[in-house]
Structure 1
């Protein structure tokens, strides 16, 4: 039985680095056997239908072969994305979706590295982790609050999206 999936590509189309055309990205996923492939924005968000998710390393290899760009990829089912949305610890206070970030991770960050990550989040911003997601609420804006957000755990892949993007991807994946 097929399902809906979301692929999150890390670090593409940020500034002038790692430019990837979304039409080419859709072709890459179609070539991997995915159907109903849609991209959202230019930041590496792909929603598709498949019997199961393609292996993340296979997506990484196919993207690099088609574009020359090397990037890490995380894949989540529509149900997993809904769980992330439902678990939002800042739902009651985050009044601006552009100031709430979710860092999707390949595995939960170890406790010692979590402590170091939290130390990099500048007040009044704050962060909480729930499973393989880290939520960062930045009431005064994302730019200054998240200097430590790029700090990643050894062996843990992490890519962040703002709340507006998370909810839009969930809408597309659920539709």
Structure 2
């Protein structure tokens, strides 16, 4: 069928909301905006901007970005992953021995694959903390504390938009997208 829209379960991962006083967004407001876009099945998870919907994954991110700007005056980047892509992210975890450290193992979601040369320049190990390259993700293994990690500065030098989620959130959102 020509022109048919492919709707599938996907996660919308908002970047940088509810971190301190900046980009405050209540989940009720987020659900309302998402539902106004026609996604009555929207489920939010935590206060960090995780929404699972059935949608056209190629358009929903941009549509939500526009709606948040128009309705709430927020300029927020939205990263989209289908349920299948999230399953791949979980299955491809290069640090399987660290899955019980759900607050220290993170995934940085990117719009596109990071440049391997830039990543090599940044380095894949900083102290005991490690980075591993996924398809459109970086896996980050912190040993003590995300906020005190020597990885922060090197990640900023990549100069690519990203949003991070800890392993507990990644697996929970994956389960929601699978349901």
TM-score (structure 2 length as normaliser): 0.88
The answer to whether structure 1 residue 98 and structure 2 residue 103 are counterparts is yes
Deviation (angstroms), 1:66: 1.7
Deviation (angstroms), 1:109: 1.2
- Hey, what does 1:70 align to over in structure 2? 75
Note the 1:28-39 alignment, pairs <5 A. Answer: 28-39=33-44
Aligned-pair RMSD on alpha carbons?
A: 1.8
Question: Is there any run of 5+ residues in structure 2 with no aligned partner, and where?
Answer: 1-5
Deviation (angstroms), 1:37: 0.3
Deviation (angstroms), 1:55: 3.7
Distance 1:47 1:152, change over 3 A: farther
Deviation (angstroms), 1:150: 4.9
Deviation (angstroms), 1:80: 0.4
| CA offset digits 1:2-32 (Å, max 9, x no partner) | 4211000100100111101111111111122
Question: Is there any run of 5+ residues in structure 1 with no aligned partner, and where?
Answer: none
Give the Cα–Cα distance (whole angstroms) in 1 for the partners of residues 114 and 79 of structure 2. 15
Deviation (angstroms), 1:165: 0.3
Extract structure 1 runs of 4+ deviating beyond 4 A.
none
Number of residue-to-residue matches in the alignment? 172
Give the Cα–Cα distance (whole angstroms) in 2 for the partners of residues 23 and 139 of structure 1. 35
